[in-house]
Structure 1
Amino acid sequence: MDAAFDVYPYDASSSALTQYLPAWVQEGGVAAMRERLSVDAVMARAETDLAQGWSAHRIPWLWDRVVLARTDGVLGAREGTNIEAAAAAAGKTPARYTLELCREGGNRVMVVLFYRTEQDMRTFLCCRHALMGSDGSAIPFEQGSRQPHPRNFGASVRVLSRLVRDLGDLDMASAIAKMTGGVAARLGINDRGTLAPGHAADIVIFNAQDVQDRATYLVPCQKAAGVSQVWVNGAAVVIDGEQTDARPGRVLRAS
């Protein structure tokens, strides 16, 4: 069977809070959701439904493990606070508070969910079918009081430092292949992922002994250490650890 899956090296996930609402609440987009939740009877039904769990599988809520990463001040919610505590301070149930956050903030409200174990992540990443993807976004380091997931700043380097060097779960060649050639091959991007004649010169130069992710859940917007140069399409975008003005990146499509 031709199968593969992607993993990233953290024990927490992250998304817009609206993603965890019942499907019928989300239907039609944010504007429709807001209109729907402005009706008291519908809000009450949604609260009962949401309290039973999230997704079609009714995964039980662990509200103290759902941390507000971005609120933009909606309902006065403080970033870095878990929903259980924030709801209690507001005198509401966690489900009701979540629905009100989504109604007022839409997709701007982001959360980090601590629902996994590191051992599970390590087991999956070491599987021969596994590839590594950060599931992150290209966002600025300056985020104010927001606390985005550290995967945006340290995922690849965390594989090299923690899983390869510190824990020995993977050898360096296998880890790099899971992040480069393996991904390109799986997606059908034939001129990327390996250093070969005719391929795009996408290169990362790092010190295997010094490479280290610095991004944490509490202080996520941190540059990784030990990466001296990054080249994209043959142009230097990082030199001596600092970003250049070059912008050679482009959208990639399967060949």
Structure 2
Amino acid sequence: MPHVIDRINEARAEGIDVAANAYPYIASSTSLSTVAPDWALEGGYSEFQKRLADPEQRAKIADWIHDEVVRRRDRGIYVGRIANPALAQYEKKFIEQIAVEMGTTPEEALMKLFSETPSSPSVIFFSMSEPDVQYALKQPWVSIGSDSGSPTPQARATAAPAHPRAYGTFPRVLGHYVRDEKLFSRSRPAHRSRRHTARHESGPGRVRSHAHS
């Protein structure tokens, strides 16, 4: 993170108006299929499953996932919703635990989840560090955003579990980083959650009636 921040500061010193945004969590949430190689996903999820049904291609995919994903962060892969009731017992568990319960390797556990679900399971990656998050949030040119939609209560009954950032981004900034950690004053999050973003999106620079941000 410091290296990235330094590069952006260098660009800004040269007059380039570079900015960024961040959310106050060390985990990200997306589709589990993102751990597969790009070539395996060409044509969509159904084509991906066809490749998994071919022993030669399946072995290549498993080897790639082992080398590029499992060896690096198998303890940080937390499986969310699985669109197959027969596999529901593996929801809300780390892939390492799922592999133990299946009696196989983490990459083969992933292969099973992919092969036996009509759509990719959701996943949470614990791949960031708290010091990096705080270092990013302290930069004056970093705006605060949730990077998430907020599902309605009705949708939540059938959808994958929402990332905490969908509802908790701004309360966490004010509660944890302002009140507890004293990372910055109470006024800064308000500015960097609204006015800062609006300025970079060419919107009105002041929060007022009928303003857009």
TM-score by length of 2: 0.81
Partner of residue 38, structure 1? 53
1:138-159 C-alpha deviation (Å, 9 max, x unpaired): 2134447954321122112111
The Cα of 1:136 is off from its aligned counterpart by 1.7
Q: Which amino acid aligns with 1:196?
A: R
Alignment of 1:152-191 (within 5 A): 152-188=166-202, 190-191=203-204
Q: Which amino acid aligns with 1:160?
A: L
SS in structure 1 of the partner of residue 78 of structure 2: strand
What is the CA RMSD across the aligned residues, in angstroms?
A: 2.4
| Counterparts of 2:133 and 2:159, CA distance in 1 | 28
Contact 1:70–1:148 (Cα < 8 Å) also in 2: no
SS in structure 2 of the partner of residue 70 of structure 1: coil
Aligned in 2, Cα 1:27/1:166: closer, same or farther, shift over 3 Å?
A: same
The Cα of 1:74 is off from its aligned counterpart by 5.7
- 5+ long unaligned stretches in structure 2: 1-15
Partner of residue 8, structure 2? none
Partner of residue 9, structure 2? none
| Number of residue pairs matched by the alignment | 195
Partner of residue 71, structure 1? 82
Partner of residue 93, structure 1? 105
Which of 127, 130, 142 aligns to 2:139? It is 127
SS in structure 2 of the partner of residue 179 of structure 1: helix
Percent identity for Structure 1 against Structure 2: 25
Alignment of 1:19-34 (within 5 A): 19-34=34-49
SS in structure 2 of the partner of residue 102 of structure 1: helix
Structure 1 outlier segments of 4+, above 6 Å:
none
Deviating more after overlay: 72-81 vs 22-31: 72-81
Which structure shows the bigger proportion of residues in helix conformation? 2
- 5+ long unaligned stretches in structure 1: 203-255
Partner of residue 61, structure 1? 72
Is 1:6 the counterpart of 2:21? The answer is yes
Q: Which amino acid aligns with 2:58?
A: M
SS in structure 1 of the partner of residue 90 of structure 2: coil
1:220-246 C-alpha deviation (Å, 9 max, x unpaired): xxxxxxxxxxxxxxxxxxxxxxxxxxx
The Cα of 1:198 is off from its aligned counterpart by 5.5
| Counterparts of 2:147 and 2:41, CA distance in 1 | 22
Contact 2:177–2:183 (Cα < 8 Å) also in 1: yes
Contact 1:71–1:77 (Cα < 8 Å) also in 2: no
Partner of residue 218, structure 1? none
The Cα of 1:100 is off from its aligned counterpart by 2.7
1:4-50 C-alpha deviation (Å, 9 max, x unpaired): 12111011111110112111111121121111111111001100011
| Counterparts of 1:183 and 1:108, CA distance in 2 | 33
Contact 1:65–1:82 (Cα < 8 Å) also in 2: yes
Q: Which amino acid aligns with 1:41?
A: E
Contact 1:79–1:145 (Cα < 8 Å) also in 2: no
Which structure shows the bigger proportion of residues in strand conformation? 1
Is 1:84 the counterpart of 2:96? The answer is yes
Aligned in 2, Cα 1:143/1:65: closer, same or farther, shift over 3 Å?
A: farther
